[in-house]
């Protein structure tokens, strides 16, 4: 049966809609963070993902499971790439940058997640005169829940800024920040998951001490931290306000808070962020 005029027009229109071109992204380093980027970008769609790592087994596994392109020589794969993400350790950057130095096209965005490495240092090592974005995501990228802060140089165009946001939104949430504050971001959200894992572990042990089976104690502690964080995020209320909502006069919570304050929990966490921040800055002198 022949199609009606409206159906025919709709079919014709649907084929005439231009398809958004994929952004080609080369990930260098297939460890936890590199793999998280690969999975996030594939899940988000709109990206052609290429990945390189000196450990071929890692690349092979990602290539098979995600149907992405494994790259043996990153320098040879740069043609047509819109962004290169450096997911290697700071101490390995010089070795990685050597073969790429002067080879990255000027229109290609370079993204670095290396702790402590400043934008200009990365640009100099790569001899890249184009856009560079420095970022600090955290390990929650592996479950698409990263907290990321990023900063870019003056060569960053609006199109590249949008591309950077798309890339990081594929693994969580992203905010722009002054580069001078990225070491502090490293100390806060970059290293922060480790602090919270210790909190979950300690709460679990507290439950076990008071007779709760460990599996149940761990589940209660984990959900308590998750739910509390979601409440802060969803309500937008200051944590102190939410704390007061569960702190009744003469109750159990105020007694526990007094113990935490007496033992310096708040000061310890503040010092942890400060110490990690200073360590991040010191990494520049070690590369």
Identify whether the C-beta of residue 25 lies closer than 8 Å to the C-beta of residue 48. yes
From 90, 98, 84, select the one nearest 37 (Cα to Cα). Answer: 84
pLDDT band at 116 (very low <50, low <70, confident <90, very high): confident
Tell me the two tokens of residue 212.
């709760």
Share of the chain above pLDDT 90, in %: 79
Residues 6+ apart with CB under 8 A from 123: 110, 129, 132, 153
Query: Measured between alpha carbons, how far is 169 from 163 in angstroms, rounded to an integer?
Result: 10
Residues 6+ apart with CB under 8 A from 262: none
User: What is residue 258's predicted lDDT score, i.e. its pLDDT?
Assistant: 97
Tell me the two tokens of residue 179.
């580069």
Over residues 166-209, the pLDDT tens digits come to: 999 999 999 999 999 999 999 999 999 999 999 999 999 999 99
pLDDT of 14 higher than 80: no
pLDDT, mean over the chain: 91
Residue the block writes with tokens 């640009």: 123
Tell me the two tokens of residue 201.
């572990």
User: What is residue 283's predicted lDDT score, i.e. its pLDDT?
Assistant: 77
Query: Measured between alpha carbons, how far is 285 from 162 in angstroms, rounded to an integer?
Result: 32
pLDDT of 160 higher than 60: yes
Lowest mean pLDDT among 11-25, 112-126, 184-198, 273-287: 11-25
User: What is residue 281's predicted lDDT score, i.e. its pLDDT?
Assistant: 87
**Can you name the residues that pair with 146 across neighbouring β-strands?**
172
219 or 97, higher pLDDT:
219
254 or 89, higher pLDDT:
254
User: What is residue 184's predicted lDDT score, i.e. its pLDDT?
Assistant: 95
pLDDT of 6 higher than 50: no
User: What is residue 7's predicted lDDT score, i.e. its pLDDT?
Assistant: 46
Over residues 225-281, the pLDDT tens digits come to: 999 999 999 999 999 999 999 999 999 999 999 999 999 999 999 999 999 999 988
Residue the block writes with tokens 């790439």: 81
Residue 255: count other Cβ atoms within 10 Å of its Cβ: 10
Query: Measured between alpha carbons, how far is 79 from 48 in angstroms, rounded to an integer?
Result: 13
Lowest mean pLDDT among 13-22, 125-134, 198-207: 13-22
Q: What interhelical angle do 56-66 and 32-44 show, nearest 10? A: 20
User: What is residue 20's predicted lDDT score, i.e. its pLDDT?
Assistant: 54
Residue the block writes with tokens 């709109």: 46
Identify whether the C-beta of residue 279 lies closer than 8 Å to the C-beta of residue 271. no
User: What is residue 286's predicted lDDT score, i.e. its pLDDT?
Assistant: 58
Kindly list the strands in the beta sheet with 47-52, ordered across the sheet, starting from the edge strand earlier in the chain: 69-70, 47-52, 23-28, 83-86, 109-112, 132-136, 146-152, 172-176
pLDDT band at 2 (very low <50, low <70, confident <90, very high): very low
Q: What interhelical angle do 192-209 and 265-282 show, nearest 10? A: 150
Give the helix/strand (H/E) hosting 267: helix 265-282
Report the SS3 class of residue 27: strand
Query: Measured between alpha carbons, how far is 174 from 269 in angstroms, rounded to an integer?
Result: 23
Residues 6+ apart with CB under 8 A from 11: 3
From 104, 100, 52, select the one nearest 80 (Cα to Cα). Answer: 104
From 122, 68, 116, select the one nearest 97 (Cα to Cα). Answer: 122
pLDDT of 19 higher than 60: no
Set out the domains of the chain in order of their start, with CATH numbers.
5-179 (3.40.50.720), 190-285 (1.10.3730.10)
Q: What is the largest CA-CA distance in the chain?
A: 82
Query: Measured between alpha carbons, how far is 26 from 88 in angstroms, rounded to an integer?
Result: 13
User: What is residue 287's predicted lDDT score, i.e. its pLDDT?
Assistant: 52
pLDDT of 81 higher than 80: yes
């Amino acid at each position: 049966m022949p199609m009606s005029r409206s159906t025919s027009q709709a079919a014709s229109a649907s084929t005439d809609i231009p398809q958004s071109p994929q952004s080609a992204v080369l990930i260098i380093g297939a460890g936890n963070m590199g793999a998280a980027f690969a999975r996030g970008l594939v899940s988000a769609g709109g990206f052609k993902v290429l990945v390189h790592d000196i450990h071929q087994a890692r690349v092979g596994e990602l290539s098979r499971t995600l149907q992405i392109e494994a790259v043996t020589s990153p320098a040879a794969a740069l043609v047509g790439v819109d962004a290169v993400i450096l997911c290697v350790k700071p101490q390995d950057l010089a070795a990685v940058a050597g073969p790429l130095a002067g080879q990255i096209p000027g229109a290609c965005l370079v993204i670095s997640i290396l702790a402590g490495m400043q934008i200009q240092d990365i640009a100099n090592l790569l001899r890249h005169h184009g856009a560079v974005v420095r970022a600090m995501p955290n390990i929650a990228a592996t479950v698409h829940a990263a907290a990321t802060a990023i900063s870019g140089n003056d060569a960053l165009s609006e199109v590249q800024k949008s591309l950077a946001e798309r890339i990081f939104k594929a693994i969580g949430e992203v905010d722009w920040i002054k580069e001078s504050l990225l070491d502090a971001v490293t100390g806060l959200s970059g290293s922060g998951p480790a602090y919270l894992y210790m909190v979950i572990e300690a709460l679990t042990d507290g439950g076990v001490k008071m007779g709760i089976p460990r599996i149940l104690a761990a589940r209660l502690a984990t959900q308590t931290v998750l739910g509390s964080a979601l409440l802060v995020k969803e309500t937008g209320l200051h944590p102190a306000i939410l704390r007061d909502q569960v702190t009744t006069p003469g109750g159990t919570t105020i007694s526990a808070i007094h113990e935490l304050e007496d033992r310096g929990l708040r000061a310890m966490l503040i010092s942890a962020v400060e110490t990690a921040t200073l360590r991040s800055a010191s990494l520049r002198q070690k590369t």
